Amino acid sequence: MIRIADEVAAALAAGRPVVALESTLVAHGLPFPQNLETARALEAAVRTGGAIPATIAVVDGEARIGLDDATLERLARGGREFVKAGAADLAVAIARGSSAATTVSGTALLAHRAGIAVFATGGLGGVHRGDDDDVSHDLVALAELPILVVCAGAKAFLDLPRTVERLESLGVLLLGWRTRELPAFYSRESGIALEHRVDSADEVARMLRARFGLLGQGGVLLACPIPDAAAVAPDFVADFVADAETAAAGVSGKARSPAILAKLARRPELLHANRALAVENARVATEVAVAYAALPA
Ligand code: PSU
Ligand code: MN
């Protein structure tokens, strides 16, 4: 059973804008208490922009679309209680009555099942460096589901050129928000050129309608650069990523990204940047959700 919070259900029924938010970023991407503060800031950014936030997680076996503040706090404090679940893992938590934080793939699937088309996160999963076989399910899920994911590109410690190639092979539409360069999570620049720059939320909304309606296609990725004030210089990031990767050398599979992020979050400027980019993505996603809901039928 999918349990949709009253406020979210009412908005969906009335065709008002809703923005999905994910829970792995909260439970496994940022340390407590900054994770709770960020989760609340993401919801606040969506409300300020005129939409209803729907943070998604599996709680005691129930797929939940929209969490109350007490549950958000339980998620943020939860540590191991909320296992990291991609789309493939959701059934395990649901069948066992356990709890799970949902990744981009898990969140996108549940958002889609609930009828939500716009979703904001921090950074997408992708192809890990040095291991072309370690590819996040995020990419495939995005290709299959008619959903918009707004993110600051893929996370900085991934192989960005290979991630972009993979998105292209999968047929994901990759758009740059007011940029022709793929953002690199903590930094605004990656050196990777994007074919499609978009400048208005309305333009993105019309692309979504063409993809999801007329063409019957899957996901769109809107890559949104971190705000200037919080951005970190690429060489500075590169040094810390190298250290974090060394520290996480023995960690593979699902635990790998959280282990690297945990190490990176010890640098105050990177922790601050991660929060700032996630909030910016929520803000931009809200603009698009509002424009999408306002499109004439
Ligand atoms: N963005 C962040 N922090 C995160 C994530 C995104 O700022 O922790 C999460 C998302 O849930 C994404 C996951 O789906 O990291 C990717 O994990 P992996 O590389 O194991 O696929
Ligand atoms: Mn992985």
How far does residue 125's CA lie from ligand 1's centre (Å)?
5
Write down the pLDDT at residue 281.
Answer: 98
CA–CA distance, 158 with 251 (Å, rounded to integer): 15
State the CB neighbour count (10 A cutoff) for residue 247. 15
- The dihedral formed by the CA atoms of 95, 254, 118 and 191, expressed in degrees to the nearest 10: -170
Closest ligand 1 atom to 22 CA:
11
pLDDT higher than 80, residue 79: no
Could you give the residue numbers annotated as active site? 22, 155
Question: Quick one: pLDDT band at residue 133, thresholds 50, 70, 90?
Answer: confident
pTM: 0.97
* Segment 159-214, tens digit of pLDDT: 999 999 999 999 999 999 999 999 999 999 999 999 999 999 999 999 999 999 99
Full domain range(s) for residue 192: 2-294
How far does residue 269's CA lie from ligand 2's centre (Å)?
24
Averaged pLDDT for residues 33-46: 98
Closest ligand 1 atom to 29 CA:
8
Closest ligand 1 atom to 254 CA:
20
CA–CA distance, 48 with 135 (Å, rounded to integer): 35
How far does residue 103's CA lie from ligand 1's centre (Å)?
6
Nearest CA to ligand 1 atom 7: 122
Nearest CA to ligand 1 atom 20: 254
How far does residue 25's CA lie from ligand 1's centre (Å)?
6
Nearest CA to ligand 1 atom 19: 125
Sorted by sequence, the CB contacts under 8 Å of residue 266 that are 6+ apart come out as none
Mean pLDDT over each residue of the chain, to the nearest integer:
96
- Name the percent of the chain lying above pLDDT 70: 100
Write down the pLDDT at residue 134.
Answer: 87
What CATH number does the domain containing 67 carry? 3.40.1790.10
Question: Quick one: pLDDT band at residue 69, thresholds 50, 70, 90?
Answer: very high
State the CB neighbour count (10 A cutoff) for residue 269. 15
If one counts the domains in the chain, the total is 1
Nearest CA to ligand 1 atom 17: 125
CA–CA distance, 37 with 196 (Å, rounded to integer): 34
* Segment 10-28, tens digit of pLDDT: 999 999 999 999 999 999 9
How far does residue 236's CA lie from ligand 1's centre (Å)?
21
Query: Which residues form ligand 1's pocket by a CB distance below 6 Å?
Result: 22, 24-25, 28-29, 103-104, 121-123, 125, 136, 138, 254, 257, 261, 274, 278
Nearest to 45 by CA among 227, 199, 175, 205: 227
Question: Quick one: pLDDT band at residue 250, thresholds 50, 70, 90?
Answer: confident
pLDDT, greater one: 252 or 152: 152
Closest ligand 1 atom to 128 CA:
19
